[in-house]
Amino acid sequence: MKRLRRRRNDGGNKKKKKNKDMFDDLPDCILLHILSFLDTKPAVQTCILSTRWKDLWKRVPTLTLSSSPDSYYV
């Protein structure tokens, strides 16, 4: 089975563009607002998404801590 090549419509630009997501352009205050809706564990886990996000979770104004023993093993 033949695979068809897709043509890129890059306006004649032959250079490869770096893949970016929409979060790269957001300021830290918006990212912090988004993280404030998460519980602590998922907020901290976001540090693996980007080097820019490495310490961002530490500046979240509200972190929800859970004291149930089950939450430690999840």
- 20-73 per-position pLDDT tens digit: 678 778 899 999 998 888 888 888 888 888 888 888 888 888 877 766 666 555
Q: Please tell me the predicted confidence (pLDDT) of residue 11.
A: 55
Q: Please tell me the predicted confidence (pLDDT) of residue 58.
A: 86
Q: Indicate whether this model's pTM tops 0.85.
A: no
Q: Please tell me the predicted confidence (pLDDT) of residue 66.
A: 66
Contacts of 17 (CB under 8 A, 6+ apart): 10
Q: Please tell me the predicted confidence (pLDDT) of residue 43.
A: 86
Distance between CA atoms of 70 and 74, rounded to whole angstroms? 7
Distance between CA atoms of 35 and 46, rounded to whole angstroms? 9
Q: Say how many CA atoms lie within 13 Å of 53 toward its Cβ.
A: 18
**C-alpha dihedral sign at 45, 50, 54, 59:** negative
